A and B are shown apart, each in its own frame.
Chain A
Amino acid sequence: MIEVKNLYKVFGKKTERVFPLLAEGLNKEEILDKTGNTVGVNDANFKVEDGEIFVIMGLSGSGKSTLLRCLNRLIEPTQGEILYDNVNLTDLNKKELREFRKDKFGMVFQHFALFPYRTVQENAEFGLEMQNIPAEERQQRAKKALERVGLSGYEDQMPDQLSGGMQQRVGLARALAVETDVLLMDEPFSALDPLIKKEMQDKLLELYEELDKTIIFITHDLDEALKLGDRIAIMKDGKIIQIGNHEEILKNAENDYVRDFVQDVNRSRVLTAEDIMIRPLAQLYPQDGFRTAIHKMKKAGISSIFAVERNRTLRGIVYLEDVVEVLKEDLEDDTKIEDLVKEVPTADPAENLDELLADIANLDIPLPVVDENNKLLGVIVKTNVLANLAGEDVI
Chain B
Amino acid sequence: MAFVENILGILATRIPIGNWIQSLVDFLVINFSGLFNGFAEIIDNLISSFQAVLSYGHPFLLIVILGLIAWKLKGKGLALFVVLGLYLVWNIEMWDPLVVTLASIITSVVVALVIGIPTGILKAHNRAVHIITRPILDFMQTIPPFVYLIPALMFFGLGNVPGVIATVIFAIAPPIRLTYLGIKQVPEELKEAGIAFGSNWWEMLYKIELPGAMPSIMMGINQCIMLSLSMVVISAMIGAGGLGKPVLRSLSVVDIGLGFEAGLGVVIIAMILDRMFGSKN
Contacts and interface: CB of A to CB of B under 8 A. Distances in A.
Interface string B191-220: 011011111100100011001101000000
Interface residues of B, number: 17
A6 B196 CA distance: 23
B190 interface: yes
A65 to B, nearest CB: 10
Given A129-B207, A130-B203, A113 B198 contact: no
A101 B211 contact: no
A251 B264 CA distance: 84
Contact of B193 (A102, A113, A129): A113
Contacts of A184: 196
A107 B198 contact: no
A194 to B, nearest CB: 23
A115 B203 CA distance: 14
Interface string A205-232: 0000000000000000000000000000
Nearest to A95: B200
Interface string B74-101: 0000000000000000000000000000
Contact of B211 (A72, A107, A117): A117
Is the contact region of chain A dominated by helix, strand, or loop, or is it mixed? mixed
Nearest to A109: B189
B187 interface: yes
Contacts of A174: 197
Nearest to B215: A117
B196 A115 contact: no
Nearest to A129: B207
A102 B198 contact: yes
B137 to A, nearest CB: 28
Contacts of B193: 107, 109, 113, 115, 126
A130 B192 contact: no
B88 to A, nearest CB: 39
A160 interface: no
B208 A115 contact: yes
A309 B195 CA distance: 42
A102 B197 contact: yes
B199 to A, nearest CB: 5
B131 to A, nearest CB: 19
Given A98-B200, A129-B207, A130-B203, A113 B195 contact: no
B200 to A, nearest CB: 6
Nearest to B189: A113
Nearest to A116: B212
A105 B196 contact: yes
Q: Which of B192, B198, B211 has the most CB of A within 10 A?
A: B198
A131 interface: yes
Contacts of B197: 101-102, 106-107, 126-127, 130, 174, 178
Contacts of B208: 115
A102 B196 CA distance: 8
Q: Which of B189, B193, B203, B214 has the most CB of A within 10 A?
A: B193
Nearest to A105: B196
A74 interface: yes
Contacts of B195: 74, 101
Contact of A99 (B196, B198, B207): B198
A113 B196 CA distance: 11
Contacts of A107: 192-193, 196-197
A111 interface: yes
Contacts of A115: 190, 193, 208, 211-212
Contacts of B192: 69, 74, 107, 109, 113
A101 B190 contact: no
B118 to A, nearest CB: 21
A106 B187 CA distance: 19
A174 to B, nearest CB: 8
Interface in B30-54: none
A131 B196 CA distance: 12
A131 B189 contact: no
Interface in A296-320: none
A101 to B, nearest CB: 4
A74 B196 contact: yes
B92 to A, nearest CB: 43
Contacts of B214: 117
Contact of A98 (B189, B198, B212): B198
B207 to A, nearest CB: 7
A292 B156 CA distance: 74
Contacts of A178: 197
Contacts of B200: 98
Contacts of A110: 189
Nearest to B208: A115
Interface in B49-69: none
Contacts of A109: 189, 192-193
Given A115-B208, A129-B207, A72 B196 contact: yes
Contacts of A99: 198
Q: Which of B189, B197, B198, B207 has the most CB of A within 10 A?
A: B197
Contact of B212 (A117, A127, A130): A117
29 contacts: A72-B196, A98-B199, A98-B200, A99-B198, A100-B198, A101-B196, A101-B197, A102-B197, A102-B198, A105-B196, A107-B192, A107-B197, A109-B189, A109-B192, A111-B187, A113-B189, A115-B193, A115-B208, A115-B212, A116-B212, A117-B211, A117-B214, A126-B197, A126-B207, A129-B207, A130-B199, A131-B198, A174-B197, A184-B196
Given A101-B197, A101-B198, A107-B193, 8 more contacts: A74-B195, A99-B198, A105-B196, A109-B192, A117-B214, A118-B211, A126-B207, A127-B197
Interface of B: 187, 189-190, 192-193, 195-200, 203, 207-208, 211-212, 214
